């Protein structure tokens, strides 16, 4: 059974503790030169953190409940009580954490459009773009039925919930990939990649390679019960991986890239995909 973290409880008594814990998370992220702007939009008590001995997944986020279940290894001293300092996490653990925090961010945006966040009004721009991409890119996707044979593909028509999950997981995979590679490129104690062109160039070269190799693709859980008996996840194939246009939106609105950094990355990685995949949606059918 998962153990609930008191510091992230939505109870009034835990509000102050929740704020302190969230502040520590933001401070640790800043120390590591990791993105914090999108995290500052999320109220400190929005996410309900829990820890459990997960075996099938490294983490699970439950939208609607705003509940994030992490492996106990991500808790302080593996005690299952509070999140351990980000500065003590491995690159892989931070990749997993940011993957899930992005899910929480999308959950917050979807449930708060038109409301007020800690940094002012909650913008609908990313959610609007996501809904457009869901309709024009993720309703009809190519999947790799056998994950170990990614070049063998099939066309699938997804339901609304399947396509929304496929988009969210694809985008979260990109966020996690970006975090892991940022940490690997800049090394401990080194300035942010945004301040050193050489480091940004290395990151962009890795992004180019990831596009070429089809690494930036997500997955979804089939709604059909019979299909779930065969496989719990369906992985998208390379033709349905994230597009450059989607990546730019996430670099700008989530990862905190400025226009100069995006243009620099585009010179190296922006031509990684064919024009058809990178082009905007021409029409949106309801």
pLDDT digits (tens, 9 = 90+) for 54-89: 766 678 898 988 888 988 888 887 777 788 999 999
State the pLDDT confidence band at 218, using cuts at 50, 70 and 90.
very high
Q: Give the separation between CA 194 and CA 96, rounded to whole angstroms.
A: 22
Q: Give the separation between CA 256 and CA 33, rounded to whole angstroms.
A: 11
Which of 110-114, 124-128, 261-265 has the least mean pLDDT? Answer: 110-114
For 28, phi then psi, to 5°, come to -65, -45
Q: Stretch 89-100: mean pLDDT, rounded?
A: 95
State the pLDDT confidence band at 192, using cuts at 50, 70 and 90.
confident
The separation between CA 121 and the C-alpha centre of its own chain, rounded to angstroms, equals 22
Helical (H) or strand (E) element with 156: strand 154-157
Strand 48-52 relative to strand 67-71, pairing: parallel
Q: CA-based diameter of the chain, in Å?
A: 54
Q: Structural domain boundaries of the chain?
A: 3-105, 125-278
Q: Is the pLDDT of residue 116 over 70?
A: no
The two three-digit tokens of residue 62, written as one number: 């439950």
Q: State the pTM of this model.
A: 0.87
Q: Give the separation between CA 69 and CA 228, rounded to whole angstroms.
A: 22
Q: Give the separation between CA 18 and CA 83, rounded to whole angstroms.
A: 11
Pick 285 or 130 by higher pLDDT.
130
Pick 58 or 218 by higher pLDDT.
218
State the pLDDT confidence band at 280, using cuts at 50, 70 and 90.
low
Q: Count how many Cα atoms sit within 13 Å of the Cα of residue 37 in the half-sphere of its side chain.
A: 10
State the pLDDT confidence band at 10, using cuts at 50, 70 and 90.
very low
> Residue 16 has what pLDDT?
60
Which of 75-79, 97-101, 219-223 has the least mean pLDDT? Answer: 75-79
């Amino acid at each position: 059974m998962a153990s609930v973290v008191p510091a992230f409880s939505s109870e009034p008594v835990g509000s102050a503790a929740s704020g302190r814990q969230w502040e520590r998370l933001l401070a640790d992220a800043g120390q590591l030169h990791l993105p914090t702007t999108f995290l500052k939009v999320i109220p400190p008590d929005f996410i309900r953190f829990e820890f459990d001995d997960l075996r099938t997944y490294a983490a699970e986020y439950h939208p609607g409940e705003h509940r994030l279940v992490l492996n106990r290894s991500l808790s302080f001293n593996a005690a299952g009580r509070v999140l351990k300092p980000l500065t003590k996490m491995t690159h892989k653990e931070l990749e997993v954490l940011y993957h899930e925090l992005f899910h929480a961010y999308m959950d917050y945006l979807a449930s708060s459009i038109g409301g007020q966040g800690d940094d002012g009004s909650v913008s609908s721009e990313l959610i609007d773009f996501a809904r457009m991409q869901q309709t024009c890119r993720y309703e009809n996707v190519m999947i790799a039925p056998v994950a170990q044979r990614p070049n063998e593909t099939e066309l699938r028509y997804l339901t609304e919930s399947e396509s929304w999950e496929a988009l969210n997981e694809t985008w979260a995979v990109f966020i996690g990939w970006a975090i892991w590679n940022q940490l690997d490129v800049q090394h401990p104690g080194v300035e942010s990649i945004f301040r050193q062109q050489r480091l940004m160039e290395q990151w962009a070269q890795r992004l180019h390679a990831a596009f070429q190799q089809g690494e930036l693709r997500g997955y979804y859980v089939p709604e059909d019960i019979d299909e779930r008996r065969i496989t719990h996840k369906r992985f998208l194939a390379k033709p349905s991986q994230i597009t450059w246009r989607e990546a730019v939106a996430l670099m700008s609105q989530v990862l905190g890239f400025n226009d100069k950094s995006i243009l620099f990355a585009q010179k190296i990685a922006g031509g990684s995909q064919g024009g058809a995949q990178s082009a905007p949606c021409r029409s949106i059918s309801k």
